[in-house]
């Protein structure tokens, strides 16, 4: 059984992980994790430092899926690699290929290799954001960069975050006005708290659900939650805007606050 809390939502966790975090959370040895990387079951580290390597939350979730596929479907590493890569292996029988396709369809897109294209830092800097902006976003744990120099790149979802910062700047939210990338970190923390509460709410009712049902629900409800958050934010911002302009046209007056007419 898989609890919905095991299924991450976009933006749920962006803090980089170290090898010790992976071994602790996944319950695997360093040797096993390095073996999965060498075999192509797990992507290389998101970023390498002089004496350490940094991994993303997706590395941890991918490790959990590898264990789950071994435990629940008794798949070989070759078969798991096929499931994660989306490629069939010629030696498999038609029945085996059909099984792997069914398993693959149950898996959320973020577990599969090549599920999204990336973007280069040079697509944004220095034309739309500064190198300092990129550096501060990375230090805040909002984006993860791969490579070095002119070849630096990021995932598409991180590129969307940089795009938002660029649009903030173009709208007038500049450093001169006191806006810095830390503003996005504030939003990220608020979203993280909200996602955590939503996950607990959903997990309470889906803790005994089957893998396929939990995955289907998580993928179905995510765009609904996203639309609800966007709608509520827009509604609240309109209220704030109305108050700032001194207009209460959009705010209904309760019966208790209405002025009663003096009897004639």
Measured at the alpha carbon of residue 137, what is the angle toward residues 136 and 138, in degrees to the nearest 5?
90
User: pLDDT (tens digit, 9 = 90+) per residue, 70-91?
Assistant: 777 677 787 777 777 666 556 6
With a cut of 70, say whether residue 46 has pLDDT above it.
no
How many CB atoms lie under 10 A from the CB of residue 134?
21
User: pLDDT (tens digit, 9 = 90+) per residue, 137-182?
Assistant: 999 889 989 888 878 888 878 888 998 999 999 999 998 988 888 8
Residue with tokens 């209904």: 252
**pTM exceeds 0.95 for this model:** no
What domains can be seen in the chain, in order of their start residue?
4-115+210-244 (1.10.1660.10)
- What are 193-196's contacts with CB under 8 Å, separation 24+? 194/229, 195/9, 195/11, 195/12, 196/12
Strands 53-54 and 47-48 turn out to be: antiparallel
**CA-wise closest residue to 153 among 140, 138, 168:** 138
User: pLDDT (tens digit, 9 = 90+) per residue, 89-138?
Assistant: 566 666 666 666 666 666 655 555 444 456 889 889 898 999 999 999 99
Q: What's residue 129's pLDDT?
A: 93
């Amino acid at each position: 059984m898989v609890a919905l809390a095991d299924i991450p939502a976009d933006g749920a966790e962006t803090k980089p992980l170290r090898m010790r975090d992976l071994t602790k959370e996944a319950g695997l040895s360093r040797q096993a994790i390095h073996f999965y990387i060498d075999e192509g079951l797990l992507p290389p580290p998101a970023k390498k430092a002089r004496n350490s390597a940094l991994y993303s939350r997706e590395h941890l979730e991918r490790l959990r899926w590898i264990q789950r596929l071994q435990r629940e479907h008794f798949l070989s590493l070759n078969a798991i690699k096929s499931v994660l890569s989306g490629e069939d292996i010629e030696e498999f029988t038609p029945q085996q290929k059909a099984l792997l396709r069914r398993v693959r369809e149950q898996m959320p897109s973020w577990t599969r290799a090549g599920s999204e294209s990336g973007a280069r830092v040079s697509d944004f800097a220095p034309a739309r954001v500064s190198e300092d902006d990129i550096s501060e976003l990375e230090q805040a744990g909002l984006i993860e960069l791969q490579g070095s120099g002119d070849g630096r790149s990021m995932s598409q979802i991180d590129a969307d975050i940089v795009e938002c910062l660029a649009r903030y700047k173009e709208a007038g939210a500049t450093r001169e006005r006191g806006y810095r990338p830390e503003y996005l970190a504030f939003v990220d923390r608020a979203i993280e708290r909200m996602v955590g509460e939503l996950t607990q709410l959903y997990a309470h009712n889906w803790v005994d659900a089957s893998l396929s049902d939990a995955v289907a629900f998580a993928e179905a409800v995510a765009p609904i939650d996203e639309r609800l958050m966007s709608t509520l934010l827009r509604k609240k911002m309109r209220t704030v805007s109305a108050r700032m302009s001194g207009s209460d046209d959009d705010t209904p007056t309760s019966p208790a606050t209405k002025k009663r007419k003096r009897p004639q």
